[in-house]
Amino acid sequence: MNLEDQGEVKIKQEADIAMARRAIRDIAKKLGFGITETASIVTAASELSRNVFKYAGAGVMQWRTFTSGENKGVELRFEDRGPGIADVNEAVREGYSTGGGLGMGLPGAKRLMDEMEIDSTVGKGTRVTVRKWCRR
């Protein structure tokens, strides 16, 4: 897997959620993702960066693009030092929310992307990594 490009967007305030969306929209378009795939990536980024802001108060979205053979892809990593998630399997379940939400952010982001991994420790923080491959 060859790393092509990378960067990050700090999430410290509500307006940074929109900043993260804008950054990732440009990257996805440049990489050759179509309109719907780009919308999927941007929507997942919006949900995951909102979780960072809502539950941890602050964090970062790191992105990188890569090529593997013929395939291009993008990886987004959302990292925070917030409260962590006690039961990750519960958290990805549709409708599970401790924040009075609809609990669709994590399961929705998983459907919109090709791969998702959650690494979380209570009291330490959370890292959510998602990837999407460009099929063309």
Ligand X SMILES: Nc1ncnc2c1ncn2[C@@H]1O[C@H](COP(=O)(O)OP(=O)(O)OP(=O)(O)O)[C@@H](O)[C@H]1O
Question: Of 4-12, 14-22, 35-43, 81-89, which part binds ligand X (CB under 6 A)?
Answer: 81-89
3-state secondary structure of 69: coil
- Please give the order of strands across the beta sheet that includes 115-121: 2-11, 59-68, 71-80, 125-134, 115-121
Cα–Cα distances in Å, from 107 out to 17, 90, 100? 19, 10, 16
Q: Which stretches within the chain are classed as H helix?
A: 15-31, 35-51, 88-91, 105-112
Site membership for another protein, residue 3 (CB under 8 A): no
Which residues, 68 to 107, sit near Mg ion by CB under 5 A?
105
Q: Which is nearer to another protein, 42 or 85 (CB)?
A: 42
Which residue among 11, 23, 31, 47 contacts another protein (CB under 8 A)? 47
Q: How many residues in the shown chain lie near ligand X by CB under 6 A?
A: 23
For the chain, the C-alpha Rg in angstroms (whole number) is 14
**Which among Mg ion, ligand X, another protein, none contacts residue 94 (Cβ within 5 to 8 A by kind)?**
another protein
Site membership for another protein, residue 46 (CB under 8 A): yes
3-state secondary structure of 91: helix
Q: Which residues are near ligand X by CB under 6 A?
A: 47, 51-52, 55-56, 80, 82-85, 91, 96-99, 101-107, 126
